[in-house]
Amino acid sequence: MPLIHKRKLTVAKFLKIGSEQIEIQWHRQEENGYPTLIFLHEGLGCTEMWKDFPSLLSQKTGCPSLVFSRLGYGASDPSPIPWKINFMHKEGLYFLPALMKEAKIRDHILIGHSDGGSISIIYAGSPYAKGLKALITMAAHVFCEEITLKSIYQANINYEYCDLRKKLEKYHGKNTENAFRGWNDVWLNPQFIHWNIEKYLPKIKIPMLAIQGNQDQYGSLKQLESVKQRAGNATIRIIEDCRHSPHIEQSEKVLAIITRFINETIHLSPCKIQKK
């Protein structure tokens, strides 16, 4: 059953990276004895669309949480379109390390949903993942599938002719067109069918938890199979009666699974963040 409450109206806070501002939320920021949980949203997500999940997970684990909207999303600065096919590599290899440097984050755990999960995998399998203690993905893509493209094409129809645009405007405001077109157009680029990040999986040595709904309309369970085969220390969890957003659709179950994984990871590999 869902634990997530209605979206809370919050005053946006920002972190400046270079000349650009990104929207952020901190939960339990004062806690510095455990790794920081960093949340990376889906292709149409933002800080507010995580709802209460980051706060609840911080309460359960005692870990501070940083939630942010990538450029082009939420109240962050825009990201000029069209986006390039390697946009997730740019996020994982350049932007995410810059974010952690600016926020002065050392030990950390990534929690990524959909595109955010893919970005987390790229980062975790790169030389930049210093201080990364664990990786958690929900509905992440490691290669492009026809089922994904069909659902993304349907999202385009819903945006143009149904109510998706109006729903997104509540969260993205003036960034709505930027967020949707940046994401939708690049995934529907004919060359995107060749997109693949499986090469990063064998390089991930830290504990990994990969979650996916058994009815995910954006990807088949072949995504989890690839993670299981290639990542060295991955735990796979399939969530029943669940589509693309496990933390929303089966929040109570997913919160318990992730809490247990984080607590076990901290217990097995204790880390103390040095005071900044």
**Domain extents in the chain:** 13-268
**Residue 270 pLDDT > 50, yes or no?**
no
Q: Are 142 and 226 in contact (CB under 8 A)?
A: yes
**Residue 3 pLDDT > 80, yes or no?**
no
Which fold would CATH assign to domain 13-268? Rossmann fold (3.40.50)
The total number of residues shown for the chain amounts to 276
- Rounded CA separation 166/234 (Å): 38
- Rounded CA separation 23/198 (Å): 30
Q: How confident is the model at residue 9 (pLDDT cuts 50, 70, 90)?
A: very low
Does the reported pTM lie above 0.75? yes
pLDDT tens-digit map of 180-208? 999 999 999 999 999 999 999 999 999 99
Query: 132 Cβ partners below 8 Å, 6+ apart?
Result: 108, 109, 110, 123, 124, 206
- Taking Cα atoms as reference points, which of 166, 163, 136 lies closest to residue 53? 136
Looking at residue 7, its amino acid is R
pLDDT tens-digit map of 95-117? 999 999 999 999 999 999 999 99
Q: How confident is the model at residue 261 (pLDDT cuts 50, 70, 90)?
A: very high
199: DSSP letter: G
DSSP 153-191: HHHHHHHHHSSHHHHHHHHHGGGHHHHHHHHHHHHTSGG
**Residue 138 pLDDT > 90, yes or no?**
yes
- Taking Cα atoms as reference points, which of 167, 165, 197, 199 lies closest to residue 184? 165
